[in-house]
Structure 1
Amino acid sequence: MGVSTSEPDEGIAVVTADYPPVNALPVRGWYDLADAVRAAGRDPAVRCVVLAATGRGFNAGVDIKELQRDTATGGHGALLGANRGCAEAFSAVYECEVPVVAAVQGFCLGGGIGLVGNADAIVAADDATFGLPELDRGALGAATHLARLVPQHLLRTLYYTSRTVTAAELRAHGSVWQVVPRAGLPAAAREVAREIARKDGFLLRLAKAALNGIDPVDVRRSYRFEQGFTFEANLSGVADRVRDTFGAPGGTPTTEG
């Protein structure tokens, strides 16, 4: 369990998250993921990073139960840690010195949207679904990143309803590069990475910096702005009230662990 890095092909690093049962990352996990992505990007031998996960889903966001345990004792350390950890991991993907290809299977929720929204390319399994169930979980955030995947009115509808969209729907919007059968996902993601890694490494780094420099929205500032409203929801007590329905009979349905 945890974050691991492998180099299956020349010029490619695969960073894999493994947090059973559903890849809902604890605070430490977000920082470990950020460290692994940054380290891979700094390696002069790496020209492309593949961001992957084990199990039935790519990422189910933060570990809500970790937050609940902390707030039950009146603390806010886990909330602060999760917010800072998510910001670190999202920034690490965005600021990675080389392109990042996200390989997404199953559910990609909450913080998962933050990761793939900041990736350079997305390859998805045909069972992949994407969404922000934040309002059902007493939180806000990552609309910044969902806005990079879908048009504005669809973003708002998905955000307010907590509904998900499929990989095929995102491909129709141009944000997912390729949709493949689940069994073929690792190979398909690595094939895209190999195509990228055949380019000159120095030029790839220049290209990544140039593309980030012309982005119309500063994703780091935008996400931090959103996080302020998450803190407001917590200070008002509404976040705890909504989170208390997490996993309860008749409460908010969820895939998180």
Structure 2
Amino acid sequence: MGTHIDRRPHGVVVLTVDHPPVNALPVRGWHELAEALNVTGAEPQTRAVVLQAAGRGFNAGVDIKELAADPGHTKLVEVNRGCYEAFKAVYECPVPVISAVHGFCLGGGIGLVGNSDIILASEDATFGLPEVDRGALGAATHLSRLVPQHTMRAMFYTGRSVTAQQLLHFGSVWQVVPRAELADAAVALAEEIAAKDPLVVRRAKESLNGIDPVDVNRSYRFEQGFTFELNLTGVSDRARAEFVHNGPEEA
């Protein structure tokens, strides 16, 4: 359980997140993922990173049960910091990060893929932000990188998800493949990038981040402030308690 690092030939690194049953990450899980990205990205031999997950889905967001079990706000502060660090590590990784998404990609998963350079998805992949239903806000910054503005707002207010095919239509998903072919397709794309001059690719990543119209780190941190505000009102505690009581499998 955790984030597993697999250093492949030709400078490709595959990071696999594995937190059963649904990859809803606790505080420790977000920090482990951030550290894995920071460590492997800093290695001079790394030329491309594939981010994938084991199990039923790519990511189900934060571990709501961990938050609900905390009578104060310590875990909330810690998990918000963990998400911030993980999303930032994806975005600021010196080499391209390719997210290979299968099953559900919810909440914090949107933060990861939205900050990735390239997204591949299996045919069963879905993407959504159920934050409003959880009494929280955040990752609209990253959803805005996946869908047009008004689609993002409709998804955010309703909590509805979209399919990989819809994101392929919007151009934010590079390729949709059968689930059994996803891992190989992501590595093949990573190897194609890794075959380029590594210095050129690293400078390309830096330059593309430099021309982004939105500072994703600052924008997401702004969103998190409203999550803290909602928690102070008590509405978030009620939403989390209802979530835990109903016993859904996905966060």
Deviations 1:38-87 (A, max 9, x none): 1111111110000111001000000000001113xxx2111001100000
Which consecutive unaligned segments of at least 5 residues does structure 2 have?
none
Residue of structure 1 aligned with 2:160, choices 159, 163, 167: 163
- Is 2:171 the partner of 1:146? no
The residue aligned with 1:48 is 48
The residue aligned with 1:2 is 2
Q: Secondary structure at the match of 2:24?
A: coil
* C-alpha contact (below 8 Å) 1:247/1:254 kept by paired residues: no
Partners of 1:9 and 1:60 in 2: CA distance: 30
The residue aligned with 2:85 is 88
The residue aligned with 1:31 is 31
Q: Secondary structure at the match of 2:242?
A: coil
Partners of 2:243 and 2:152 in 1: CA distance: 24
The residue aligned with 1:255 is 250
Q: Secondary structure at the match of 2:245?
A: coil
- Is 2:228 the partner of 1:237? no
| Between 238-247 and 140-149, the greater mean CA deviation after superposition | 238-247
Counterpart residue identity of residue 84, structure 1: R
Q: Report 1:1-257 matches (<5 A).
A: 1-71=1-71, 75-249=72-246, 255-256=250-251
TM-score (structure 1 length as normaliser):
0.96
Q: Secondary structure at the match of 1:130?
A: strand
TM-score (structure 2 length as normaliser):
0.98
Counterpart residue identity of residue 197, structure 2: D
* C-alpha contact (below 8 Å) 1:62/1:111 kept by paired residues: yes
Q: Secondary structure at the match of 2:75?
A: helix
Q: Secondary structure at the match of 1:245?
A: helix
TM-superposed CA distance for 1:216, in Å, is 0.2
TM-superposed CA distance for 1:248, in Å, is 2.8
* C-alpha contact (below 8 Å) 1:58/1:107 kept by paired residues: yes
Q: Secondary structure at the match of 1:212?
A: helix
* C-alpha contact (below 8 Å) 1:246/1:254 kept by paired residues: no
Deviations 1:136-186 (A, max 9, x none): 111100000000000000000000000000000000000000000011110
Counting aligned pairs with the same residue, the percent is: 65
Cα distance 1:254–1:165, how it changes in 2: closer, same or farther (>3 A)?
farther
Question: May I ask how many residue pairs the two structures share in their alignment?
Answer: 251
Counterpart residue identity of residue 28, structure 1: R
Partners of 1:211 and 1:255 in 2: CA distance: 34
TM-superposed CA distance for 1:254, in Å, is 5.5
Counterpart residue identity of residue 54, structure 2: T
TM-superposed CA distance for 1:241, in Å, is 1.3
* C-alpha contact (below 8 Å) 2:64/2:244 kept by paired residues: no
Deviations 1:98-151 (A, max 9, x none): 000000000000000000000000000100000000011111000000000000
